[in-house]
Amino acid sequence: MPEGSYRFSLGSLWCTVLSDGYYAYPPSWFFPNAEPAVLAEALERRRLPQEHILSPYTCLLIETGRHVVLVDTGAGSRSPTAGAIEARLEVAGIRPRNVDAVVLTHAHPDHVGGAVDARGRPLFPNAAHFIAEVEREFWSAPRRNLAGMRVPEGRKKFMEDCARRCLEPLRHQLEPVEREMEILPGVRVLPAPGHTPGHLALLLDSGGRQLLNLGDAAVHPLHLEHPEWENGFDLAPEQAVATRRALLERAVADQMHVMAFHFPFPSVGRVEQRNGGWEWLPGL
C-alpha cells in the first residue's frame, strides 16, 4: 500500500487506515478551556507548533471476507488536501460500488463530505449508510442550536450546509442506529454522544482482539493526557468529556487497541492510565 495507507489484521478482519489529508486548526478551537500557559508547555514538550494544530483525517476500511465496510468518508472535495479516499480504495482493490456498508460516526464535513461526489450523488451506491437516528434528525431539522460549539459562526454555517448537502442525497440509503448494535459480525456501533447528539464509536471484535474507534470523542492525544480539556467542536462539552472518559476506561479495562480519526497517522495504538488521565501509545 502507498504512503497514507496502513494495513493490519484483527483476528479474521483486515483493516486499512486510509489518510484523507489534514487541516490546520487554531489551538483555541481544539482546546478552548485549556489554560494557555499549560497548553503552550504541553505543545512545546511534544515539539509541536504553537500557532496551529495540524490534524490528520483518517478513515478505516474493514474487510470481513464477505463484506466491505468504510468508517467515515473523509472531507471529499471540501478540503485542499482531502478527497483521497476514493483513490486509496482503488489502490486497495476496492471500488466504491464494492462497499457494502458505510458507518458515519457523525455528520461533520470531514466525516461525511466524501459520501457524495462532486455532483452531489452518493459515491457508494450499493452501501447501507449507518448513522444515529438522532444525528440525522438534528442536521435535517429546519433549525438547530449550535451555541455549545466554540468555533466561529462561519464555521458553524459551513458545517450545517455540508451536513444537509450530503445527507439529503443519501436519504434512501440511511440505516438508523438507535442503540448499541452489531451491524455485521464483529462490527458493533456504540452511542458516544456529546461531540454531536448522535456521535458514534465503533468496536471491532475478532479472534480475541478488539479495536475501539473513538471517532471524534478525542481529537488529539492531549485530550487523553488532560481529559478535562474540551474540544471547541463539541456541541455538549460536559457530555463529550464524560463520554471520552467512559470509552477510555472501557478500552483500558478490556485491553483494546484504539483508533481516533484525528490522531497522528496511522491513528492506531493503545492507551494507558497515567496521572489522572491517559497516555497515548502509538502502534499495534
DSSP state for residue 119 in the 8-state scheme? T
Residue 284 lies in a domain: no
Residue 87 cell numbers, joined? 483513490
Residue 82 lies in a domain: yes
Residue 282 lies in a domain: no
Residue 255 lies in a domain: yes
Range list of H helices, the chain: 27-30, 36-45, 85-91, 109-112, 133-140, 153-167, 222-225, 237-253
Residue 281 lies in a domain: no
Higher-confidence residue of 284 and 32: namely 32
Domain with residue 108: its CATH number is 3.60.15.10
Domain count, the chain: 1
Residue 121 lies in a domain: yes
Q: Exposure pattern of 108-146 as b/e (b: 16+ CB <10 Å)?
A: bbbbbbbbbeeeeebbbeebbbbbbebbbebbeeeeeee
Q: Does residue 257 carry a pLDDT above 60?
A: yes
pLDDT attached to residue 63: 97
pLDDT tens-place string over residues 117-156 = 989 999 999 999 999 999 999 999 999 999 999 999 999 9
Q: What whole-number distance in Å separates Cα of residue 86 and Cα of residue 92?
A: 10
pLDDT attached to residue 4: 84
Return the residue matching grid coordinates 490546520.
24
What pTM was estimated for this model as a whole?
Answer: 0.95
Residue 283 lies in a domain: no
pLDDT attached to residue 118: 85
pLDDT tens-place string over residues 74-128 = 998 766 666 788 888 998 899 999 999 999 999 999 999 999 998 999 999 999 9
pLDDT band for position 261 (50/70/90)? very high
- What is the rounded average pLDDT of the residues 166-195? 97
pLDDT tens-place string over residues 9-48 = 999 999 999 999 889 999 999 999 999 999 999 999 999 9
Average confidence score pLDDT of the chain = 94
Distances (CA, A) of 235 to 82, 228, 231: 24, 15, 9
Residue 219 cell numbers, joined? 481529537
Q: What whole-number distance in Å separates Cα of residue 237 and Cα of residue 196?
A: 10
Share of the chain above pLDDT 70, in %: 97
Q: Which residues contact 157 (CB under 8 A, 6 or more apart)?
A: none
Domain holding 228, by residue range, is 5-276
pLDDT band for position 2 (50/70/90)? very low
Q: Does residue 1 carry a pLDDT above 60?
A: no
Nearest to 212 by CA among 60, 109, 14: 60
Q: Which residues contact 275 (CB under 8 A, 6 or more apart)?
A: none
> How many other CB atoms are there within 10 angstroms of residue 171's CB atom?
11
